[in-house]
Structure formats: structure tokens, C-alpha cells
């Protein structure tokens, strides 16, 4: 039997996609914070941090993690939601941000102190001339923007 390691679990989790943005995996998003083995309980503890507190997708993500690990023959694990420190877009991988852009969603801008949380550029044409249409886009985790140049509406993945 293959010996289970933290890296092995991480590579399995790298196949779990975000239910809202299927092109992104949970490792692209950087929501898997920690994987450790509890020697006393002989159980893997997987810590995940929601991208958005109260995000309904998190329950789905936990379920998908369970199903994926079970289908790989792993059952001695528990999932812990770690709410602090809060998820930041810095945890997202560069390839994740790139995939998001190709999918037509503006990747999160890394807002430094004082810079508003708004998209840096339209994912269609790259224009920075964008305006907010609605605080809530197709899901609570996104807001709806419109590009003033190509006039395309697009979702913006909000920073939290």
C-alpha cells in the first residue's frame, strides 16, 4: 500500500474544482491552508479557509473534498474550516488568476491600503475604464461590472 503523504493529499485535492468557477481548482484558489497528520487520532486534518465568509460554495467544496478523498481510498481525515486569518487574493496562484481571466472573470485586484477593491482591467479587452453595475453578480462572491470601452459586462471576483 502506498504511503500517504501531505504532498499526495495535496495532489489529490488539486483535482477538486471550485463549484462556482469550474476552471479553478481549490489549490489555485489557495484555500487549502494546512494538511497535517494527527498521530493520536491517526487522522489527517485538512484546514480550508473560505474565500468569503458565508459563501454557500464552501459546503459544496467540503463535500467534494470528501468525495474525492473517499474515491482515492482515503477515509481517515477531517476537514476543518479555518476562518482566521481571512483568505486573501495573495493566496491565489498566478496560474489561477490567469485561468480566471481566460474564463472572462476579472481576477481580484490586490488592494493595498487605500486602493478600492475593483477590477484592474476588463477581461475582454484589457481596458481599465470599467464601472460597477451591481455589488452582487451571478453569486455573492462576485460583483457585476461593465467595460466602458467594449461595453461587455463581466463578473469581478471580489476581495474580502
Footprint of Zn ion (CB under 5 A)? 122, 124-125, 127, 147, 149-150
Compare residues 9 and 147 and give the one whose CB is closer to Zn ion.
Answer: 147
Q: In whole angstroms, how close is the CB of 130 to Zn ion at the nearest point?
A: 7
| Cβ proximity to Zn ion, 46 vs 105, nearer residue | 105
Of 13 and 122, which CB lies nearer to Zn ion in the complex structure?
122
**62 with 79: CB under 8 angstroms?**
yes
For the CB of residue 107, give the shortest distance to Zn ion in the complex, in Å.
14
Whole-number Å distance between alpha carbons of 75 and 66: 8
SS (H, E, C) 50-114: CCCCCCCHHHHHHHHHHHHHHHCCCCCEEEEECCCCCCCHHHCCHHHHHHHHHCCEECCCCCCCC
CB 106 to Zn ion: min, Å? 10
Give whichever of 11 and 127 is closer to Zn ion, judged by the CB atom: 127
Amino acid at each position: 500500500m502506498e504511503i500517504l503523504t501531505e504532498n499526495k493529499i495535496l495532489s489529490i485535492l488539486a483535482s477538486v474544482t471550485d463549484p462556482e468557477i469550474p476552471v479553478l481548482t481549490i489549490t489555485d484558489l489557495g484555500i487549502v491552508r494546512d494538511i497535517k497528520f494527527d498521530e493520536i487520532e491517526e487522522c489527517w486534518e485538512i484546514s480550508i479557509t473560505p474565500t468569503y465568509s458565508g459563501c454557500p460554495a464552501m459546503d459544496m467544496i467540503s463535500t467534494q473534498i470528501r468525495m474525492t478523498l473517499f474515491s482515492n481510498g482515503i477515509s481517515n481525515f477531517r476537514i476543518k474550516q479555518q476562518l482566521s486569518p481571512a483568505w486573501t487574493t495573495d493566496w491565489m496562484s498566478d496560474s489561477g488568476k490567469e485561468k480566471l481571466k481566460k474564463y472572462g472573470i476579472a481576477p481580484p485586484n490586490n488592494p493595498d491600503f487605500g486602493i478600492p477593491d475593483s477590477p484592474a482591467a476588463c477581461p475582454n479587452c484589457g481596458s481599465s475604464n470599467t464601472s460597477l453595475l451591481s455589488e452582487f453578480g451571478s453569486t455573492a462572491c462576485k460583483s457585476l461590472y461593465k467595460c466602458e470601452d467594449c461595453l461587455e459586462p463581466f463578473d469581478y471576483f471580489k476581495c474580502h
